[in-house]
Amino acid sequence: MARKVKETDKLPKAKLTKSAIKKALRIFHYVGNHHWKLYLGLVFLLCTGFTALVFPWLLGDLIKSVELNNFSSINSIGLYLIIVLIMQSVFSYFRIYLFVNFTENTLAALRQALFAQMIQLPMTFYSEQRVGDLNSRISSDIAQLSDTLTTTIAEFLRQFILIIGGIILLLFISPKLTLLMLAIVPVVAIAAVIFGRFIRKISREVQDKIALSNTIVQETLQGIINVKAFSNEYFENIRYKKSTESIVFTAIKGGKYRGAFASFIIFCLFGAIVTVIWYGVYLASMKQLYIGDLIKFILYSVYVGASFGGIAELYSQIQKAVGSTERVFEILDEQHEDININAIQPVFTRLNGDVAFNNVEFSYPSRKEIQVLNGINITVKKGETIAIVGPSGSGKSTLIGLLLRFYDPEKGTLFIDGKDAKSYSLSELRNNMAMVPQDVILFGGSIRENIAYGKPQATFNEIEEAARKANAIEFIEKFPEKFDTLVGERGIKLSGGQRQRIAIARAVLKDPSILILDEATSSLDSESERIVQEALDKLMVGRTSFVIAHRLSTIRKADKIIVIDKGFVSEVGTHDELTLKENGLYKKLSRLQLENV
């Protein structure tokens, strides 16, 4: 059976260059006042290594006392062995405890710093990254660092102590036997590690192929309607059959290598041990070595051989940890937005809500060759409702992104209340804005918590009043737990209309100067749309509102409609004015929607 591959097994390694090690050591900037735990843990580590080396020596002396007829020392040596075992147990306990304590506190600070950095990064960063990869940085990469700091480094140093100390003691016991052992055992141990690594690689291949076959099953069953509609049962069966046959082929190949590895261990590794013991017995027969010293030698040989084998794998884990550190600091070194997240935001000056786009041009950093907005000029006065319409990809959502300062214009200026938007702090600007999107994503807590997201310090009465204004109180009161009802992941336990009203209640609670509605009713049925639209109409009163809508029927009452096409403002006017304009894009869009009704 193939070994289960952990997520950290798939992490890439980094070469242990001077530069890479220097970057990795930056992790100690997050130690805080816990550094003494590391230093004390290292002291206990040295003590553990020392007692580990003393134990075989005393055990050999115990046997040698019989050879030398020195029976009076048996009890004292036995007592020393018990003391050494007790000391080693105590040292090991404190070593592990201190390293875990140091590591968890350090990594908690690193996790917090990494998460804080992530939520402060600009939208330009997220437009070029995958969420899964970012999640891996804070989960798999940090987990790798945890394993390394808690266990790997300590074990690496311990094995190094055992190798150096063991070889010194072996040379002291018998130089001849030591040279034979060093010529055989380390070579066999290293070969075993390399062989074992190759087998694990085969195991990973098997796991990857199993995952691929499971993907085929998942895709087929999820799309079973299409499979049957296209009569593709034969095709899917063949596809899965080929996938499972590939698993069998790789697994059998892995079985061959595991069998060869077992044979290698039996013959070479144990053969090497037999050779060393045979030569040791030969030296003992020639009166050049005591049997007690031979026992010492065998134990130290086992220590050195096992440490040689283990240190190679530990070195590999350290390489992965260095790679993980580099990936974590790649994010921490990104330029973040100027946002203070270490304290509750103070009450900012309320903006009036006057907005003006002056000759604004913009293209996304990842697609510089495509000009998304060209010479945009829009003026909006306090309390006006502005509808933004146009074909898909015309630049409507980009305009909203600039308003929220997810991005800044490449050319031109965005003015808020007559001042350059850049002159406001991001927190001050966004605290005066609220957004109700088309695809509302709720957090997995309660209805109360999701509404309070608009104003975390709000009282229950404020939350209840916001729900009432959003036409949400009726369905909330029907739930047994009312406001404490859990909405499920992404709000899956609520209908689309209910999620929209929770989002509106959140916006009501925030009481913004500028309101953004991004196709807030486009995915709802007629009844849900009516209820949500009533709530939106109440919410827009007295606020500067930007409404992106595909359903033109929802924006007839807008004070001004701005039609964007291919990044340009092509038309501006009221609904009545634009429907009278011959060959206008708005009139064309209206006609198309009427024909599709």
- Token pair for 18: 């001077």
CA distance 500 to 524: 9
Confidence (pLDDT) at 587: 73
Q: Which amino acid is at 342?
A: N
13-332 CATH pick, 3.40.50.880, 3.30.420.40, 1.20.1560.10, 1.10.3720.10: 1.20.1560.10
Q: Lowest-pLDDT range, 28-42, 391-405, 539-553, 582-596?
A: 582-596
> What is the mean predicted confidence (pLDDT) over 382-401?
83
pLDDT digits (tens, 9 = 90+) for 572-597: 888 777 777 767 777 777 666 555 54
pLDDT band at residue 3 under the 50/70/90 scheme: very low
Q: Which has more pLDDT, 172 or 306?
A: 172
Share of the chain above pLDDT 70, in %: 87
pLDDT band for position 154 (50/70/90)? confident
Average pLDDT over residues 199-210: 77
**Out of 33-37, 301-305, 469-473, least confident range:** 301-305
Q: Label residue 253 by pLDDT band (50, 70, 90).
A: confident
For 309-336, what is the mean pLDDT?
A: 74
Read off the pLDDT band of 66 (50, 70, 90). Answer: confident
pLDDT, averaged across the chain? 78
DSSP 518: E
> Which CATH superfamily groups domain 436-511?
P-loop containing nucleotide triphosphate hydrolases (3.40.50.300)
Give the residue-averaged pLDDT of 296-306.
77
H/E segment holding residue 38: helix 35-67
Tell which residue, 371, 368, 538, 370, has the closest CA to residue 469: 538
pLDDT at 15 over 70: no
For residues 311-327, average pLDDT:
74
CB burial of 415-438 (b: ≥16 within 10 Å; e: otherwise) equals ebbeeebeebebbebbbbbbbbbb
Contacts 24+ apart (CB under 8 A), 17-24: 20/322, 20/326, 21/322, 23/322, 23/325, 23/326, 23/329, 24/321, 24/322, 24/325, 24/326
Domain 13-332 matches domain 351-432+514-527+543-597 at the CATH topology level: no
Tell me if the domain spanning 351-432+514-527+543-597 has CATH number 3.90.1300.10. Answer: no
Contact partners, residue 411, CB within 8 Å, separation at least 6:
359, 360, 361
Which of these ranges, 238-242, 280-284, 294-298, 340-344, has the smallest mean pLDDT? 340-344
| CA distances in angstroms from 86 to 58, 80, 81, 82, listed in the order given | 14, 10, 9, 6
- Number of CB atoms found within 10 A of residue 158's CB: 21
pLDDT at residue 1, as a whole number: 38
What six digits make up the tokens of 272?
Answer: 């090497």
pLDDT at 346: 56
Please state the domain extents for the chain: 13-332, 351-432+514-527+543-597, 436-511
Average pLDDT value for residue range 500-518: 83
With 50 as the cut, is the pLDDT of residue 4 above it? no
Residue 312 has pLDDT above 70, yes or no: no
Q: Can you tell me the mean pLDDT for 223-251?
A: 80
Q: What is the pLDDT of residues 407-416, one digit of tens each?
A: 888 888 888 8
- Give me the residue label for tokens 């930007």: 546
Does the pLDDT of residue 394 top 60, yes or no? yes
List the single range of 101-105, 210-214, 336-340, 547-551 with lowest mean pLDDT.
336-340
Contact assessment for residue 298 and residue 280, using Cβ atoms and an 8 Å cutoff: yes
Q: Which of 555, 559, 492 is nearest to 518 (CA)?
A: 555
| pLDDT for the residue 2 | 39
pLDDT-derived band at 5, boundaries 50, 70, 90: very low
Calculate the alpha carbon distances from 570 to 356, 375, 588 in Å: 17, 11, 13
Looking at residue 464, its pLDDT comes to 85
